[in-house]
């Protein structure tokens, strides 16, 4: 499938965002929100897209700037920029209620999008959320808080630290701009709203997002319907066949509960 391009932002800050959208029109639709340094053709995203097509459900997936097929430099990316892109694509490329499916960082962006949509009277666009190991506030609570002093010093003095990662051959650049901007987008310092039902899938062997982080997130959503499913032997990716089967079962249940009569 060939990606289509949407431009987001103005002037020097304009980015070209690549997206894939199924031809189905079944409501509610699905919007896939990838994780940090992941993309819209990952194992889970592709599995959800194939399932959605079989269900006749509309689905949108896209690459943030600096990711996958989109333009831009990954090292120049920030949570605010990726939030802007998420909102722009939801508004321009979907119609009616949507289930946001956020993986890792995508879970943070899903909740940030919910705050922005509600602030503009668009909470009705949210049919539900399925969040996979949601890395809400990860820049501060899961990254900066764990960094050794030498890495923090390098970020603050040189502006970037190259973080080794088990998810690919190249290290991930962690920038001072990413950390500073993340601090302006924190959600877990107070109770919040999702404005829709939420189902969280969380591996208990996740070394990047501890399951205690997901439990803390549940406690901060006291006014919404939230379900937490813990996978005892699950890691951060939750990409095994049984994990994907659980994800698709969860999506099917949420769509069944929110589909218009």
Active site residues: 104, 206, 236
- From CA 19, how far away is CA 40, in angstroms rounded? 8
DSSP 72: S
Please state, in angstroms and as integers, the Cα–Cα distance from residue 146 to each residue in 142, 143, 161, 208, following that order.
6, 5, 14, 10
Which residues are CB-neighbours of 104 under 8 A, at least 6 positions away?
34, 35, 36, 38, 132, 133, 134, 135, 138, 208, 209, 236
Question: What tokens appear for 255 in the block?
Answer: 């769509």
- From CA 242, how far away is CA 239, in angstroms rounded? 8
Query: Can the peptide bond before residue 226 be classed as cis, meaning omega within 30 degrees of 0?
Result: no
């Amino acid at each position: 499938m060939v990606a289509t391009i949407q431009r987001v932002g103005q002037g020097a800050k304009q980015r070209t965002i690549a997206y894939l959208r199924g031809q189905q029109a079944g409501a509610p639709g699905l919007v896939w929100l990838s994780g940090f340094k992941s993309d819209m053709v990952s194992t889970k995203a592709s599995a959800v897209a194939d399932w959605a097509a079989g269900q006749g459900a509309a689905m949108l997936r896209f690459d943030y700037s600096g990711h996958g097929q989109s333009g831009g430099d990954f090292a120049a990316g920030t949570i605010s920029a990726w939030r802007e892109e998420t909102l722009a694509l939801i508004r321009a490329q979907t119609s009616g209620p949507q289930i946001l499916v956020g993986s890792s960082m995508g879970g943070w962006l899903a909740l940030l999008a919910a705050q922005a949509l509600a602030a503009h009277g668009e909470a009705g666009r949210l049919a539900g959320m399925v969040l996979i190991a949601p890395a809400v506030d990860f820049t501060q609570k899961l990254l900066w808080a764990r960094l050794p002093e030498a890495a923090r010093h390098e970020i603050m003095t040189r502006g970037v630290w190259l973080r080794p990662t088990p998810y690919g051959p190249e290290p991930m650049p962690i920038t001072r701009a990413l950390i500073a901007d993340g601090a302006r987008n924190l959600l877990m310092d107070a109770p919040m709203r999702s404005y829709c039902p939420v189902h969280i899938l969380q591996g208990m062997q996740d070394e990047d997002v501890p399951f205690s982080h997901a439990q803390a997130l549940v406690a901060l959503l006291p006014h919404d319907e939230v379900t937490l499913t813990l996978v005892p032997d699950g890691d951060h990716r939750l990409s095994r066949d049984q994990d994907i089967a659980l994800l698709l079962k969860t999506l099917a249940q949420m769509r069944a509960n929110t589909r218009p009569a």
